[in-house]
Structure 1
Amino acid sequence: MNTEASLARGQILARGTSRCLLDLGFACVAEMPLRPRLRADLMALGRKGEVWIIECKSSRADFMSDRKWEGYLDWCDRYFWAVDRDFPMDLLPEGTGLFIADGYGAELLREAPHRALAPARRKSLMLDFARVAAQRLQSRLDPGMPRAGLI
């Protein structure tokens, strides 16, 4: 089965962006839960503890139907969009970062402004990030394992 065909366009953007972020020294968790009904497409954690959130938008309709993006700003140091080359970039708000992505990689086109997280929130996010990543790894190693609350 063609892996590319089985992935949704947003997942394809997330995969390429994750590859780029790895090259930039970040580890990523896709579909990272932040609070009930708020889940980041990608959360990236840098070597110095910096937290980035990247929302992947596959089309104008996808962008217009999801207006909760400002709710993510309190959960990261920098906020980015990941879109493909055909996306109408004039829709994207000023003061946010931008990656152009496909299924194989991404390019950072616009750096996002830095908004430092509060230390307590950073610690909480880093612990959640580690727990979600560890639980997902364990579920791959043991597919019969009961699902925990975070993943």
Structure 2
Amino acid sequence: QDRPEVSRLLDHLRPGDVLTVTRLDRLARSTTDLLHIAERLKILGAGLRSLAEPWADTTSPAGRMVLTIFAGIADFERSLIGERTSAGRAAAKAKGVRFGPKPVLTPEQIAHARQLIDGGQSVSEVARLLGVHRATLYRALPQ
């Protein structure tokens, strides 16, 4: 997403300008990226033309139509990916897979920390002893 030269290029365009590229893959890294750039060009009032892909010409009605179709396909693909990801996560959770980072403290360490705190040591001292931040200890200890 962070492409300073592309951003500089787009910042220099004025209404009526046509951005001409040799190939679309030289401008955008993905279909979604291309569609975002094309939308930004549309807002600016500029066009897009590719020398290698004659169908990619937003200065003509046919080129705008093709780009609109690609936008629909990209949106459909994003939806499918999201559904597959959700289904995969649900299946993994059903099998007992835990997501996220592994717990820093074991249940035994948490029990030991509770005993030390109940025994009068401060949370800061116990956290230093266990090699964790105070906030980690506070999250691990039930209130």
Under a length normalisation based on structure 1, what TM-score does the superposition of the two structures give? 0.28
Structure with greater helix share of residues: 2
Question: Could you say which structure has the greater relative contact order, defined with CA pairs below 8 angstroms and 6 or more residues apart?
Answer: 1
Structure with greater strand share of residues: 1
Under a length normalisation based on structure 2, what TM-score does the superposition of the two structures give? 0.29
